[in-house]
Amino acid sequence: MIDISFGRQWRQCGGVTRRDFLRLGTLAPLGLSLPGLLAAEKANAAVSGAAASLARRARAKSVILVYLGGGISHHDTFDPKPDALEEIRGKYSTIPTTVSGLRISEMLPRLAHRMQHFALVRSGTHENDHHETASNWVLSGRFGSPFGDHPAMGAIVAHETGFGGRMPPYVAVPKNPSFTWELGKAAWLGGRFESFSAGNPNQKEWQVRDLSRPAGVSDEVLARRKALLASVDRMGGRVHGNDQLDTHDEFARKAAELVLSPNAREAFSVEREDARTRDAYGRSEFGQSCLLARRLVEAGVRFTAVNYGGWDHHAKIFEGLDKKLPEFDMGLAALVTDLDNRGLLSDTLLLVMGEFGRTPKVNKDAGRDHWGRAGSLLFAGAGVRGGQVIGATDKEGAFVTDRPVRPADVCWTVYEALGIDPKKILLTPEGRPVEILDQGGLIEELYV
């Protein structure tokens, strides 16, 4: 989530900051986290010739990442092993799909009827079974510590594509993936490139943080507050000589314009969808998050992360999957169908993955444990050739036997789809040059 902190704050007697004073004066709607996010528009105004050339070759305008935090079982979904021993194959049978010869779990009937849209990668692999470390790895394409050493894909996309328009470039629904630490973050890129967390659109009377206003506050009143906040920020910048605050008034103005913008309000208003559409996605957090993702793509958001966690089934895995897989099946099938019907799938890359798969053998607690050596991913849209399977695992689903796809390959493919050079050199705040990716390559089979 984006932090409101931007530059320095100065405390008055009694420990109240200048911005705290404004909030106490009922200016909370403009004490936004968005000014910091929008500040990056100026930092990204200049685009190199190489990046501009790549952008012209971009396959996608937007990316939707459906992130299955905790690690979904590939055995019980997209890579079943019906001929294996019972403790490996699990309790579910398989069903045919719209792709000849491809069978998936019986728990995914809607997706089975839409597999012609998807390229199924059965050979995702890496060597880490720790939630935080593996999540950072797959979300950034670079191996590091559990603390998030490297910027997540969404943050890189925000940094590289800029902050034009009336929508934040990186949105997380309902929030970033998290275990002990919140993941999917901007790391050394800084808070300006963090995700804008939308919250749970299935929540009763849900309102998006920073895009809602107190009851009874008109556009005119909000505009006056915007002007007052900008005025105080300009004064603070002059008095204290802080370069960031000298320009913060500009970003506060743009954030306020977002609040006033009917386009932004419309994009986040899932309640304006007709009941039939909302029902098609499912009246669940995941279903309505997928619906919101589609609306955000329509509004021009470049990278939307739909975080659907809860797949860490160390015990009673089939009880857990009995509840979660129908929601997943319904929401994802509706999303790919809706994108296709609206003509959005051709320039939207849809990626579905978790941080790892699960162990081949069901354990003594009737669960499956962490397993980085094998897992399944789905790609669709933006030129991806659907109806194919890439890679394979052995007869127990334990190890990749054909076309290993590593985290850097996945991230490389996302960046390349958006016209971002994966080998571009960025500078850390200390001036250290760092490549966006230090290894990896395009998953070329997706496009042939």
| In the predicted structure, residue 162 carries a pLDDT above the cut 70 | yes
Q: Which two tokens stand for residue 208?
A: 């998006």
Q: 């053998």: which residue's tokens? A: 361
The rounded distance, in Å, linking the Cα atoms of 16 and 363 is 55
Going from N- to C-terminal start, the domains of the chain cover: 21-48+213-267, 58-211+275-447
- Find the Cα–Cα–Cα–Cα dihedral 385, 107, 357, 158, rounded to 10°: 50
**pLDDT score at 186:** 86
Compute the chain's Rg from CA coordinates: 23
* pLDDT tens per residue across span 293-341: 999 999 999 999 999 999 999 999 999 999 999 999 999 999 999 999 9
What are the backbone dihedrals phi and psi of residue 288, each rounded to the nearest 5 degrees, phi first?
-75, -25
| In the predicted structure, residue 164 carries a pLDDT above the cut 80 | no
| In the predicted structure, residue 33 carries a pLDDT above the cut 80 | no
The rounded distance, in Å, linking the Cα atoms of 71 and 152 is 18
* pLDDT tens per residue across span 6-32: 333 333 333 333 333 333 333 333 333
Q: Give the pLDDT band of residue 373 (cuts 50, 70, 90).
A: very high
The model carries a pTM of: 0.81
**pLDDT score at 412:** 98
Average pLDDT over residues 54-58: 67
Q: C-alpha distances in angstroms, 69 versus 38, 135, 284?
A: 28, 8, 17
**pLDDT score at 163:** 74
Fold of 58-211+275-447: Alkaline Phosphatase, subunit A (3.40.720)
* pLDDT tens per residue across span 110-146: 999 999 999 999 999 999 999 999 999 999 999 987 6
